[in-house]
Amino acid sequence: MAVQSVWRFVDWVLQLDTSGSVPFFEMNCMRCDETSKAAESPDGPQNWALKHAGRTGHDLFQAVNTCYFRATRANIKAGDDLPSYHTQAGSSSARVASHP
């Protein structure tokens, strides 16, 4: 007997989730293993990088912005367009196959 699968397509929306944690910023020195403290604003980590460069001469840094996104099923009627990607709102959407 052949195994059959049934696939259905579901609309999903990806949105910025700040319910558990706000976005935070860090700077990593790419010449050594030192890292700034995490902060809710990029100002502190950027100042750390400038001071670190002045102390050590290191000149290459990686900026890290960590935030969380939540995927939820969209309530979209058949024939409706999916919401477009909005960078300021932090949302995106896609239609993907979902196995029941």
Q: Helices (DSSP H) in 18-100: which residue ranges?
A: 43-56
Reply yes or no on whether the pLDDT at 30 is more than 50: yes
**Mean pLDDT computed over 16-45:** 93
CA 26 – CA 88 distance, rounded (Å): 20
- Domain spans, the chain: 1-20+69-100, 24-66
- pLDDT (0 to 100) of residue 52: 97
What are the tokens at 10? 């579901």
pLDDT band at residue 99, thresholds of 50, 70 and 90?
very low
pLDDT for the residue numbered 95: 53
The model scores a pTM over 0.85: no
Is-contact 28 62, C-beta < 8 A?
yes
